Amino acid sequence: QQQVKQSPQSLIVQKGGISIINCAYENTAFDYFPWYQQFPGKGPALLIAIRPDVSEKKEGRFTISFNKSAKQFSLHIMDSQPGDSATYFCAATRTPSGNTPLVFGKGTRLSVIA
């Protein structure tokens, strides 16, 4: 299975700061890159996703930056809040994803402290 490498494994950020999580992929056929947020005891929730035809996508405090040439993408959480404390997973697939499962990174445990 093609890998998606995610870093860091854990992250501690002060309230109001910027959280940055990075992912790198190998398969150049991947063309859909979602991020999932998972709270303890819950299933992963789709947070934001990007296609490689744009370099950035923003939804509220969450932004994905995408670098196709470097095969890297990152999640930025602006004005991080304690409620953002969760595990974040990046993923990738080639569309139509209905036929191709997502490949997940290993996850980043984010702690936002007051």
- Residue count, binding to another protein (CB under 8 A): 25
Torsional sign, CA 81, 83, 85, 89: negative
* Interacting positions 84-103 with another protein (CB under 8 A): 89, 93, 95-99, 101-102
Q: Does residue 19 bind another protein (CB under 8 A)?
A: no
CA distances to 18, 98, 106 from 28, in Å: 29, 18, 20
Q: Which is nearer to another protein, 66 or 105 (CB)?
A: 105
| Of the residues 30, 63, 104, 112, which one makes contact with another protein according to CB under 8 A | 104
Q: Does residue 71 bind another protein (CB under 8 A)?
A: no
Three-class DSSP category at 47: strand
For residue 6, which of 93, 112, 103, 98 has the smallest C-alpha distance? 103
* Interacting positions 28-47 with another protein (CB under 8 A): 32, 34, 36, 41-46
- A 10 A CB-CB count for 18 gives 13
Interacting residue ranges for another protein, rule: CB under 8 A: 1, 32, 34, 36, 41-46, 49, 89, 93, 95-99, 101-102, 104-107, 109
